[in-house]
Chains A and B, each alone.
Chain A
Amino acid sequence: MGSASPPSPLPCGAPASLTRVTVILLLAAGTMAALGTEGGSVFFLDVTTLTLLEGKTLSPDEVLRSVPDDYRCGKALGPVESLQGHLQDPAKILIGYSRGLLVIWSQTSQCVDHVFLGNQQLESLCWGRGGSTIISSHSDGSYAIWSTDAGSPQTLQPTVATTPYGPFPCKAINKILWRSCELGGHYIIFSGGMPRASYGDRHCVSVLRAETLVTLDFTSRIIDFFTVHSMRPEDEFDDPQALAVLLEEELVMLDLLTPGWPAMPAPYLAPLHSSAITCSAHVANVPSKLWARIVRAGEQQSPQPASSASSWPITGGQNLAQEPLQRGLLLTGHEDGTVRFWDASGVALRPLYKLSTADLFQTDCDHADNLAQAAEDDWPPFRKVGCFDPYSDDPRLGVQKVVLCKYTAQMVVAGTAGQVLVLELSDAPAEQAVSVASVDLLQDREGFTWKGHERLNPRTGLLPWPAGFQPRMLVQCLPPAAVTAVTLHAEWSLVAFGTSHGFGLFDYQRKSAVLARCTLHPNDSLAMEGPLSRVKSLKKSLRQSFRRIRKSRVSGKKRPTTATSKLQEANAQLVEQGCPHDVEMTPVQRRIEPRSADDSLSGVVRCLYFADTFLRDAAHHGPTMWAGTNSGSVFAYALEVPAAAAGSEKRPEQVVEAVLGKEVQLMHRAPVVAIAVLDGRGRPLPEPYEASRDLAQAPDMQGGHAVLIASEEQFKVFTLPKVSAKTKFKLTAHEGCRVRKVALATFASVACEDYAETCLACLTNLGDVHVFSVPGLRPQVHYSCIRKEDISGIASCVFTRHGQGFYLISPSEFERFSLSARNITEPLCSLDISWPSHKPRESPKLSQANGTPSIILAPQSCEGSPSITYRKQTDTTELPEATLSPTSVDLATSGETTLDTTGDVTVEDVKDFLSSSEESENRRNLVEDEDRSCALLIT
């Protein structure tokens, strides 16, 4: 691409800003490009040779010669705001200058065909299909329609000029489209133009057809929009089928053929973060029966598109990856109390089902919202579109932990206000009351007063539940601190949960609490009730003020940064608490002090675990429950669970009992991150029901069991039933890193079909992933995976049972990685792009800026349209399609190379051009390419 730079066509000493490209228009089937600049000149570029066509340059002076003197009046035309080609007459270009002047330039005759003497600052232009109508939008929120049919080559006044949301001052209409219909009439679609004072901060696209006006109200910034319509030059009408709006946080498609213009359900590209993700969990090897039931429940939630005509009009290419061998489910818990189920079996996450827990509770916002809705005027006719909604009505609804038993379709969702919800999948809608119980985790401990949020008030009486997961039981922890750990044993009908105060065990078959244990250190009272609740209330009040602002202005750019996990918050607290406040500290100092028993938050329950193992003696095994705390304490309880009669799933109605069996205090007092029991062969015990239903190899109950306790600093394997240390690995002492996430994963051999080993996968605070043998705890491999600065990425990481993992690389994107050589999810897909006629230049590999995806351009095929193989390491829902939209490919790759050799356009300018296309307010670049995009995008 490094061809010789052509001589500069500009007078020497012209400021660089004058040559900054503002808009680009591809002409003559892509062999030529017109570049509009800041200075008002239009340059023409031969795209194939990347040389400027010097004689063709159109300077503003030349244009000014054809306008009357009184319009000229010594003022400059300003930057070129818009360049539009004519679909049917490629020789004509419509040029719009910032000052308001519109010019039709004929390339063949090299002269001005027509001038329109607009006086309002121009924002955007659109040339109607027949070429007889031009619509211009302006900075004052008005648009004007001009007719080219007038005999005179000068038009002084538009045929129509209107301010749709007047009469009060309005914001600029950033982009406007005019689309004709065969059935008569036309669409006018524009963004912005809202009344400045009352709705100035909303993100709106207005669709006007005849008398029908709908103001589409989006929750995030509008980047661009286009219509999907006929691109054949011979067609008389545009006949738009769909309107695609690209927002900062999502892509919304509206069906223009169906009355009411409903939004189309997105087959992919579902925003992960419509409410901030607060936790995630992965369920591997989902039984096909459960899978089908979840899919069915999900289908009932979202009505299927009425007609096949309104199917998703964008091709995202073809997925060439093999059909996944097994079904994997990724569950994401959100701040608004929803749990979303994603198909994580293959390359792209696909939304399956959404569970909302908010309906069970009365929140303060319900009432207010209704009032606010009622108070809203009919004008402008707002319609909420899109599912991105970062605002949580009540932060207490936030989901902290999710556990799903894939064999019984039972599920536990635990939240910020200490709520533990046991749900069960049901295929039919039902109306039923939910049993409520509360468990006091303080256990009459004196001197503790909870100053945090109140517990959620559940709705009483019969409640209607749609098909899907329906709540059976609600357990509320007291005090209502966020649930920090939860575990479910469906076979025993037991759920265990922990907060910063203690843990509880609940029998949801008999609906009775089995055990509650306070884990607070006696000296901890100040720490627990002091700073933490202060921080909380600050956060809460911040939220409330945010919500208040929102009520008054409904939407805005602000998105409160939400801590992705409770854990992080607790850790931050721990660090803060570690140093006394009276000592003056420079920020780069670190205090060296061993953890003491009364560090604050020492009572936070970090993990809970059920196991059928040997706790009392080596001869008898039985149900046990394990709990680990922030201060390195581990409590092991022996449970008396009445055995189910042969052939029946349910255990008899007898009381479950729990007896404290062991208490282990790790000397280094680091938080216990995970507990797992290993069988006689050193493998982790199977999940509930796995063994009894012959779905997994039965655990070895002959050899001695062992318990693996992973703390933030070290891993240790202890023998059972006599707890004595067997092996250990001191990660922090050796490497200086701390454990963030651990999981036992099965690594299958590549060479041998049925050989697999269980290893301990561990993610550290430095973002590295280490793998250790189990139970020997020998380091096997370690990779760097996540940047250590990416705290939310590290906090969001989940491992799968087969050595893969997910973490958030942005609020909306999961990255998938694999530690297993056998188990790789490799994206492989193809996208056929009918490239504009010219030959693609030799560019075998183009890397996107973010590094993860890359597009491999295959050698040029004979038709001149290269087949593009698209590969990526990631498994995000949005990335592939977003990257593949021709517009962005153009901009990110060929756009850069095109501009590179113009000589007068510096690299910085290119960057500016790219960024300005991404920064939305100024998105004129995209506008010009938009028609072409449509051509490429129509299925």
Chain B
Amino acid sequence: MNRSHRHGASSGYLGTMEVKSKFGAEFRRFSLERSKPGKFEEFYGLVQHVHKIPNVEVLVGYADIHGDLLPINNDDDDNYHKAVSTASPLLRIFIQKKEEADYSAFGTDTLIKKKTVLGNVLRPDNHRKKPHIVISMPQDFRPVSSIIDVDILPETHRRVRLYKYGTEKPLGFYIRDGSSVRVTPHGLEKVPGIFISRLVPGGLAQSTGLLAVNDEVLEVNGIEVSGKSLDQVTDMMIANSRNLIITVRPANQRNNVVRNSRTSGSSGQPTDNSLVSYPQQAEPSFEPDDQDSDEDDIIIEDSGVRQQIPKAVSDAQSLESLTQIELSFESGQNGFLSSAEASPAPAAGRASPESERRAPEQKLLEEDGTIITL
């Protein structure tokens, strides 16, 4: 593998593939034989060599076709070969020092998401940093769904976020009209509602286990659906389908998260359902200048080179987004893992077990690291 610094022009070259590698604020470009990319160890060495960081343990990630940052860490599960084979036309590599690595950066929408405005809308206190509990090697997985905002929602409600990328798996659910019973000042009242009518076997919605037939849909990405027609709700969901956050009242109320603060309240009965009564329920703001980058358009410039243009963010900036967060484990990504905590423990009691927990994790990762570099 020879180091060739053929900038740009190499992309059209048959058989070779341009690699654009970033470490810190530095870029390196080199090329690989597409047909014979070699082994991961060689590649790892090459990357270290190119960036002149021969003895620094690093994590190597690449941007896949959906703009997600995915790790390259071994040959065994072929993620190195996958990275090489799917790169078109250029392979973008992101290098992080292992000790500074931001694992939460890996996964869905990571390259194009600067801040999650929607998350902030749904819960304004989101910006406070939360301890990040690593339960396995998150860099090897992409999130597919999560329950979010457990602490601000009534126990009878569930807010589910579905991550849809690529076309691998259909979202896979249907909605229908129906009627639901509400408690109003005038007593019980039947009101029209929207319900999940069907889950496609093998679809994302079914595989999460968080949505079920006959769950009532209350909100779509923070906007209440009451008063909207089935077609309107359908259009809203499709418009948000790449980052769909549905608030439902599950038909089965037995699996609700029981918060210790209000244990007695969880009777399992759909009681008061007005979300408005919760002060945290901020009105979604429709500022057009919202920088929510849950979707980004692909712009192909006249050279014919396909590029992700993440919202006018230059490459240096997006790299920054990977490295800027120093306290890597603590940076909560919109409740991705944080929502797994069943109860928001008092903040004071959080710090010490957190650091204890982090230590073995790091060890584990170091072990991984050694395996990788072997």
- Residues of A that sit less than 8 Å from B by CB: 585-586, 588-597, 616, 638, 659-668, 670, 713-714, 716, 719, 722-725, 727-730, 732-738, 765-766, 776-779
A875 to chain B, nearest CB (A): 31
Interface pair B174/A732, CB less than 8 Å apart: no
The residue of chain A having its C-beta at the shortest distance from the C-beta of B289 within the complex is: A727
Interface pair B300/A589, CB less than 8 Å apart: no
Cα(A714)–Cα(B173), bound, Å? 24
**Which residues, 254 to 280 on B, are CB-close (under 8 Å) to A?**
none
Interface pair B288/A667, CB less than 8 Å apart: no
Interface pair B242/A668, CB less than 8 Å apart: yes
B303 to chain A, nearest CB (A): 10
Known: A589-B198, A779-B286. A724 touches B309 (CB 8 A): yes
Which residues of A are found within 8 Å of B242, using beta-carbon distances? 594, 667-668
A867 to chain B, nearest CB (A): 46
Interface pair A738/B175, CB less than 8 Å apart: no
B240 to chain A, nearest CB (A): 5
Starting from the known contacts A665-B299, A725-B296, 10 additional A-B residue pairs (CB-CB under 8 Å) come to A588-B177, A591-B174, A594-B164, A594-B242, A719-B312, A727-B289, A730-B239, A736-B223, A765-B231, A778-B288
Cα(A893)–Cα(B309), bound, Å? 66
Known: A586-B176, A589-B174, A590-B175. A728 touches B302 (CB 8 A): no
B31 at the interface (CB under 8 A from A): no
Interface pair B171/A732, CB less than 8 Å apart: no
Interface pair A592/B173, CB less than 8 Å apart: yes
Which residues of A are found within 8 Å of B311, using beta-carbon distances? 724-725
Cα(A734)–Cα(B302), bound, Å? 34
The residue of chain B having its C-beta at the shortest distance from the C-beta of A788 within the complex is: B229
Among B223, B230, B296, the residue within 8 A (CB) of A590 is B230
Cα(A585)–Cα(B198), bound, Å? 10
Interface pair A592/B176, CB less than 8 Å apart: no
Among B221, B229, B286, B301, the residue within 8 A (CB) of A662 is B301
Among A595, A737, A779, the residue within 8 A (CB) of B238 is A595
Interface pair A667/B298, CB less than 8 Å apart: yes
B207 at the interface (CB under 8 A from A): no
How does the 8 Å CB contact mask read for B178-214 relative to A, with 1 for contact and 0 for none?
A: 0000000000000000000110000000000000000
Interface pair A732/B286, CB less than 8 Å apart: no
Cα(A77)–Cα(B296), bound, Å? 81
Known: A662-B299, A667-B295, A723-B299. A588 touches B239 (CB 8 A): no
- Would you list 30 pairs from A and B whose C-beta atoms are within 8 A, ordered by A residue? A588-B177, A588-B230, A589-B176, A592-B234, A592-B237, A592-B244, A594-B164, A594-B171, A596-B167, A660-B302, A661-B301, A662-B299, A663-B299, A668-B242, A716-B297, A723-B299, A724-B309, A724-B311, A724-B312, A729-B286, A732-B235, A733-B240, A734-B236, A734-B284, A735-B236, A736-B231, A738-B235, A766-B232, A776-B288, A777-B288
Among A589, A638, A765, the residue within 8 A (CB) of B175 is A589
Interface pair A592/B171, CB less than 8 Å apart: yes
Interface pair A736/B236, CB less than 8 Å apart: yes
The residue of chain B having its C-beta at the shortest distance from the C-beta of A776 within the complex is: B288
Residue from B225, B236, B242 whose CB has the most chain A CB atoms within 10 Å: B236
Which residues of A are found within 8 Å of B176, using beta-carbon distances? 586, 588-590
Cα(A602)–Cα(B336), bound, Å? 34
Cα(A585)–Cα(B233), bound, Å? 18
A136 to chain B, nearest CB (A): 57
Q: Give the 4 A-B residue pairs with the shortest CB-CB distance, closest first.
A: A736-B232, A724-B312, A594-B241, A667-B295
The residue of chain B having its C-beta at the shortest distance from the C-beta of A598 within the complex is: B167
Known: A730-B239, A733-B239. A725 touches B297 (CB 8 A): yes
Residue from A589, A724, A736 whose CB has the most chain B CB atoms within 10 Å: A736
A711 to chain B, nearest CB (A): 10
Interface pair A590/B239, CB less than 8 Å apart: no
A726 to chain B, nearest CB (A): 8
Which residues of A are found within 8 Å of B299, using beta-carbon distances? 662-665, 723-724
Among B172, B236, B302, B312, the residue within 8 A (CB) of A661 is B302
B170 at the interface (CB under 8 A from A): yes
Which residues of B are found within 8 Å of A728, using beta-carbon distances? 288
B127 at the interface (CB under 8 A from A): no
Cα(A734)–Cα(B237), bound, Å? 10
B88 to chain A, nearest CB (A): 14
Residue from B230, B234, B296 whose CB has the most chain A CB atoms within 10 Å: B234
Which residues of A are found within 8 Å of B312, using beta-carbon distances? 719, 722, 724-725
Which residues of B are found within 8 Å of A719, using beta-carbon distances? 312
**Which residues, 296 to 345 on B, are CB-close (under 8 Å) to A?**
296-302, 309, 311-312
Interface pair A737/B239, CB less than 8 Å apart: no
Which residues of B are found within 8 Å of A588, using beta-carbon distances? 176-177, 230
Interface pair A736/B171, CB less than 8 Å apart: no
B228 at the interface (CB under 8 A from A): yes
Cα(A725)–Cα(B172), bound, Å? 30
The residue of chain A having its C-beta at the shortest distance from the C-beta of B298 within the complex is: A665
Cα(A732)–Cα(B289), bound, Å? 17
Cα(A594)–Cα(B294), bound, Å? 14
How does the 8 Å CB contact mask read for B66-93 relative to A, with 1 for contact and 0 for none?
A: 0000000000000000000000000000
Interface pair A667/B296, CB less than 8 Å apart: yes
The residue of chain A having its C-beta at the shortest distance from the C-beta of B296 within the complex is: A667
Interface pair A733/B232, CB less than 8 Å apart: no
Interface pair A592/B223, CB less than 8 Å apart: no
Which residues of A are found within 8 Å of B289, using beta-carbon distances? 727
How does the 8 Å CB contact mask read for B216-231 relative to A, with 1 for contact and 0 for none?
A: 0000010101001111
Among A590, A666, A738, the residue within 8 A (CB) of B297 is A666
Which residues of B are found within 8 Å of A777, using beta-carbon distances? 288
Residue from A592, A593, A595, A777 whose CB has the most chain B CB atoms within 10 Å: A592
Interface pair B297/A664, CB less than 8 Å apart: yes
Cα(A665)–Cα(B300), bound, Å? 8
A624 to chain B, nearest CB (A): 12
Interface pair A592/B239, CB less than 8 Å apart: no
Cα(A776)–Cα(B287), bound, Å? 10
The residue of chain A having its C-beta at the shortest distance from the C-beta of B286 within the complex is: A734
Which residues of B are found within 8 Å of A713, using beta-carbon distances? 235, 239
Known: A589-B176, A725-B312. A733 touches B171 (CB 8 A): no
A500 to chain B, nearest CB (A): 22
Interface pair A593/B221, CB less than 8 Å apart: no
A772 to chain B, nearest CB (A): 9
Which residues of B are found within 8 Å of A776, using beta-carbon distances? 288
A573 to chain B, nearest CB (A): 17
B295 to chain A, nearest CB (A): 4
A171 to chain B, nearest CB (A): 47
Cα(A847)–Cα(B328), bound, Å? 71
Known: A667-B295, A733-B221. A592 touches B288 (CB 8 A): no
Interface pair B197/A668, CB less than 8 Å apart: no
Cα(A811)–Cα(B171), bound, Å? 41
The residue of chain A having its C-beta at the shortest distance from the C-beta of B295 within the complex is: A667
Interface pair B288/A729, CB less than 8 Å apart: yes
Which residues of B are found within 8 Å of A586, using beta-carbon distances? 176, 197
Interface pair A592/B238, CB less than 8 Å apart: yes
A37 to chain B, nearest CB (A): 48
Cα(A585)–Cα(B298), bound, Å? 34
Known: A592-B237, A729-B286, A776-B288. A736 touches B228 (CB 8 A): yes
A730 to chain B, nearest CB (A): 7
The residue of chain B having its C-beta at the shortest distance from the C-beta of A775 within the complex is: B288
Interface pair A594/B238, CB less than 8 Å apart: yes
The residue of chain A having its C-beta at the shortest distance from the C-beta of B231 within the complex is: A590
Which residues of A are found within 8 Å of B286, using beta-carbon distances? 729, 734, 779
Which residues of B are found within 8 Å of A729, using beta-carbon distances? 286, 288
The residue of chain B having its C-beta at the shortest distance from the C-beta of A713 within the complex is: B239
Which residues of B are found within 8 Å of A662, using beta-carbon distances? 299-302
Cα(A244)–Cα(B299), bound, Å? 63
Known: A724-B311, A727-B288, A734-B223. A663 touches B300 (CB 8 A): yes
Which residues of B are found within 8 Å of A722, using beta-carbon distances? 312
Cα(A595)–Cα(B171), bound, Å? 11
Cα(A713)–Cα(B239), bound, Å? 7
Cα(A594)–Cα(B239), bound, Å? 8
